[in-house]
């Protein structure tokens, strides 16, 4: 702790003492004035501990006496010791230390008073779903379930599958029919290691032990308890709702002489909706747009990856080459797919992000004729040319200028130049009155890199520049589909200044930059 941090803590302690708190050097105890519903103001007593994390972390606050009849429910940590109240959860948001409200005594006490008033009112409008925090944790188990299917499993046992990582358990998607062993007590061996699914409905207080769950479920709890006692069920999934939010509490359960012990597991939803929540605002826009990516090498593979993550599902991947070990350092695919066609390898990678790849086509072929290029553009709204091949690019340009303008289709060529110092994307055909950036001449490379068994020279473009090119291509595609047309037909990013105008400065370059430079001369 810096000397300034210590001064902040000392100042807070002194300010609290002025406001009636006692200080034993470790903890401060004192009054907080608050107003219960339909009552006059009362004095609560709290205990405040300012530890070494202050001011980067708020002080720990425990409620000693609320001063009125209040049921403490939500937003309080699980106590480390039985019979001792947990710390109040006063701030869900994180503040920088220099502006943190808990550094001021009045702000801190006002927050405590507000917490008491919300607790007394039953936390109206609160929809935080965090039942795990009120229970003992099971840190070794991570549970995966499909939320879209859980409703149909309520009141049933389901199989548990081992996940792909240690400690991960996947909940089955169909009910399991329990059968007792004929002529003998107990259940079959197949009726072991099962999960049970139930619904708590709208909850108004946390569950802290099995008896709380029994109280909510009522008679529905009895069959579950019998199965736990028989060793059949060792995992329970409880759907519940707070306010307008729904969630799932996953519990490992164990029968003991003292009753059923429960521990909360970290859990996650595997449904398509959840997997798309972080895809961005353009996911719906991209979902049904047919997009072809020609060239599934370094730039093409990462472009496909970004578009798929952003919501594109109707992708056609075209490349006639196989993945080589030397490609992997810049490619989406890893060594485990060496030898596969690059287009197939990319599709395999996309399936690990979202298995719904039915509309993703992998074509191990090349664009070999103008007619083929025209048909490709006719079948797709957008074609991304990431081949780095002048021949393929010229055929796609021919197709774009032949059919693209009238049909609302576009080809985007994306490339890396000068070993990745400049990455560039051009739209074909050009919109009316649009101009392109000037070409950047190639340079002689007397010491070209050569890979054994490969006839072509190896580009020195770094993985970082490749990722930048893919990102720029995706931004241009999204701009096209949104019809915003904020980006021009030609755009480049300069990572290292070049001697030729307008590529002399680091940053984004557009035809407007070229025009300004020309006027300046």
Mean pLDDT of the chain: 90
User: Which pLDDT band holds residue 3 (cuts at 50, 70, 90)?
Assistant: very low
CB contact at 8 A, 177 and 156: no
Q: What is the mean pLDDT of residues 507-517?
A: 78
Q: Does residue 58 have a pLDDT over 80?
A: yes
Tell the CATH topology of 278-433+454-520.
Answer: Rossmann fold (3.40.50)
pLDDT above 70 coverage of the chain, percent: 91
Q: What is the mean pLDDT of residues 156-160?
A: 92
- The pLDDT of residue 95: 87
CA distances from 303 to 293, 298, 378 (A): 8, 9, 21
- The pLDDT of residue 193: 83
pLDDT digits over 260-291, tens only? 999 999 999 999 889 889 998 889 899 999 99
Of 184 and 427, the one with more pLDDT: 427
User: Which pLDDT band holds residue 399 (cuts at 50, 70, 90)?
Assistant: very high
Q: Does residue 168 have a pLDDT over 60?
A: yes
Q: What is the pTM of this model?
A: 0.85
Q: What is the mean pLDDT of residues 8-24?
A: 95
Q: Does residue 201 have a pLDDT over 90?
A: yes
pLDDT digits over 223-261, tens only? 899 999 988 999 999 999 999 999 999 999 999 999 999
Q: What is the mean pLDDT of residues 158-171?
A: 91
- The pLDDT of residue 184: 43
- The pLDDT of residue 20: 97
Rounded distance, CA 261 to CA 286, Å?
Answer: 48
508 phi/psi in degrees, rounded to 5:
-75, 135
- The pLDDT of residue 83: 63
Task: Give the dihedral of Cα atoms 19, 21, 23, 29; nearest 10 deg.
Answer: -150
CA distances from 211 to 4, 71, 138, 225, 241 (A): 49, 18, 19, 11, 19
Q: Does residue 153 have a pLDDT over 70?
A: yes
- The pLDDT of residue 13: 96
- The pLDDT of residue 1: 44
**String of DSSP letters for 45-101:** EEEEE--TTTTTSPPEEEEEE-SS-----SSBPPPSSTTSPPBB---SS---GGG-G
Alpha helices in 310-459 (DSSP H): 342-353, 370-379, 390-399, 405-407
Rounded distance, CA 50 to CA 24, Å?
Answer: 12
When mean pLDDT is compared across 192-196, 348-352, 486-490, 506-510, the lowest value belongs to 192-196
**String of DSSP letters for 27-46:** EEEEEEEE--TTS--EEEEE
Sorted by where each begins, the domain ranges of the chain are: 3-120, 131-179+188-271, 278-433+454-520
**CATH architecture of structural domain 3-120:** Roll (3.10)
CATH hierarchy code of domain 131-179+188-271 = 3.40.140
Helix then strand then coil, % of the chain, to nearest 5: 30, 25, 40
**String of DSSP letters for 384-400:** EE----HHHHHHHHHHI
pLDDT digits over 402-461, tens only? 886 667 899 999 999 999 999 999 999 988 777 899 999 877 666 677 666 665 767 889
> CATH topology of 3-120 equal to that of 131-179+188-271?
no
Widest CA span of the chain, in angstroms?
Answer: 99
User: Which pLDDT band holds residue 519 (cuts at 50, 70, 90)?
Assistant: very low
Q: What is the mean pLDDT of residues 60-64?
A: 96
User: Which pLDDT band holds residue 185 (cuts at 50, 70, 90)?
Assistant: very low
User: Which pLDDT band holds residue 5 (cuts at 50, 70, 90)?
Assistant: low
Q: Does residue 187 have a pLDDT over 80?
A: no
Rounded distance, CA 159 to CA 433, Å?
Answer: 63
pLDDT above 90 coverage of the chain, percent: 76
Q: What is the mean pLDDT of residues 464-481?
A: 96
DSSP run (H or E) holding 211: helix 210-217
Q: Which tokens go with 261?
A: 């012990």
SS3 for 376?
helix
Asked if residue 69 has a cis previous peptide bond (ω within 30° of 0), the answer is: no
The alpha carbons of the chain give a radius of gyration, in whole angstroms, of 31
Of 216 and 2, the one with more pLDDT: 216
pLDDT digits over 293-310, tens only? 999 999 999 999 999 999
pLDDT digits over 313-343, tens only? 999 999 999 999 999 999 999 999 999 999 9
- Closest residue by Cα to residue 243 from 150, 124, 132: 124
């Amino acid at each position: 702790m810096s000397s300034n941090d210590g001064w902040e803590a000392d100042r807070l302690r002194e300010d609290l003492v002025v406001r009636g708190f006692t200080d034993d050097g470790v903890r401060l105890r004192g009054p907080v004035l608050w107003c219960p519903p339909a009552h006059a103001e009362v004095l609560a007593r709290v205990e405040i501990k300012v530890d070494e994390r202050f001011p980067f972390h708020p002080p720990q606050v425990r409620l000693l006496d609320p001063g009125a009849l209040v049921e403490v429910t939500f937003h309080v940590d699980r106590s480390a010791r039985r019979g001792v109240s947990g710390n109040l959860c006063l701030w869900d948001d994180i503040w920088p230390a220099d502006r943190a409200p808990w550094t001021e005594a009045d702000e801190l006490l006002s927050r405590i008073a507000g917490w008491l008033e919300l607790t007394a009112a039953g936390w109206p409008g609160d929809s935080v779903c965090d039942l795990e925090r009120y229970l003992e944790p099971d840190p070794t188990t991570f549970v995966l379930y499909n939320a879209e299917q859980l409703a149909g499993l309520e009141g049933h046992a389901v199989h548990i599958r081992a996940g792909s990582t240690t400690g991960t358990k996947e909940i089955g998607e169909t009910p399991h029919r329990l059968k007792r062993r004929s002529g003998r007590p107990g259940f079959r061996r197949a009726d072991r290691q099962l999960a049970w699914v139930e619904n708590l409905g709208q909850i108004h207080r946390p569950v802290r032990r099995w008896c709380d769950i029994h109280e909510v479920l009522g008679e529905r709890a009895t069959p579950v308890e019998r199965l736990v006692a028989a060793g059949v069920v060792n995992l329970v999934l409880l759907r519940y709702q707070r306010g307008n939010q729904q969630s799932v509490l996953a519990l490992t359960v164990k029968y003991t002489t003292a009753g059923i012990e429960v521990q909360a597991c970290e859990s996650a939803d595997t449904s398509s909706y959840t997997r798309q929540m972080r895809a961005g605002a353009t996911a719906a826009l991209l979902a049904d747009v047919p997009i072809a990516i020609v060239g599934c090498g370094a730039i093409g593979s990462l472009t496909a990856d970004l578009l798929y993550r952003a919501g594109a599902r109707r992708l056609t991947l075209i490349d006639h080459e196989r993945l080589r070990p030397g490609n992997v350092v810049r490619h989406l695919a890893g060594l485990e797919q060496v030898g596969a066609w690059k287009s197939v390898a990319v599709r395999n990678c996309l399936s690990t992000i979202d298995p719904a790849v039915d509309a993703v086509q992998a074509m191990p072929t090349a664009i070999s004729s103008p007619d083929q290029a025209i048909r490709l553009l006719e079948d797709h709204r957008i074609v991304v040319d990431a081949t780095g091949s002048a021949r393929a690019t010229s055929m796609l340009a021919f197709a774009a200028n032949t059919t693209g303008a009238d049909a609302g289709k576009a080809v985007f060529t994306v490339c890396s130049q000068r070993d990745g110092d400049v990455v560039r994307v051009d739209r074909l055909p050009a919109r009316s009155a649009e101009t392109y950036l000037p070409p950047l001449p190639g340079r002689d490379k007397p010491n070209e890199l050569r890979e054994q068994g490969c006839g072509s020279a190896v580009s020195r473009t770094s993985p970082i520049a490749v990722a930048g090119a893919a990102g720029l291509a995706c931004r241009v595609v999204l701009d096209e589909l949104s019809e915003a047309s904020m980006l021009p037909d030609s755009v480049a990013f300069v990572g290292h200044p070049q001697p030729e105008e307008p590529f002399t400065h680091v940053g984004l370059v557009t035809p407007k930059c070229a025009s300004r430079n020309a006027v300046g001369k």
